[in-house]
Amino acid sequence: MARMDVSSRETVEFAAQGGQPDALFELGLSCSTGRDGTVDLIQAHKWFNIAAMRGNDDAKRYRLEVARDMSKSEIVQAQKLAREWLTSVH
């Protein structure tokens, strides 16, 4: 999978700050595949979780798939990060 260039990543992050479900989903994909260097399942779960709450149906499926490779404590951490993001940004 091709890596996202810096300007694309910045655009997605800006859109995600606005709570756009597709941008949030893209951040989850980026984290789950290591598109930007390192795979981070906790961050991937967080972004998929937020995207799912915002109405992205694909994010629900991806969140479940990522969770299968995570420990319970990692899932708890991801959920905590999602709550923190939601309360601090929106």
DSSP string, 24-53: HHHHHHHHHHTTTSS--HHHHHHHHHHHHH
Residue type, 40: D
The model's pTM: 0.81
Please report, for the chain, the start and end positions of each structural domain, with discontinuous segments joined by +.
Answer: 6-89
Average pLDDT over residues 43-65: 95
* pLDDT of 61 over the 60 cut: yes
List pLDDT tens digits, range 17-39: 666 888 899 999 999 999 878 89
> Residue 88: its pLDDT value, please?
85
- Decide: 54 and 28 in contact? Cβ < 8 Å: no
Q: What percent of the chain shows pLDDT beyond 70?
A: 77
> Residue 20: its pLDDT value, please?
80
Average pLDDT over residues 45-60: 94
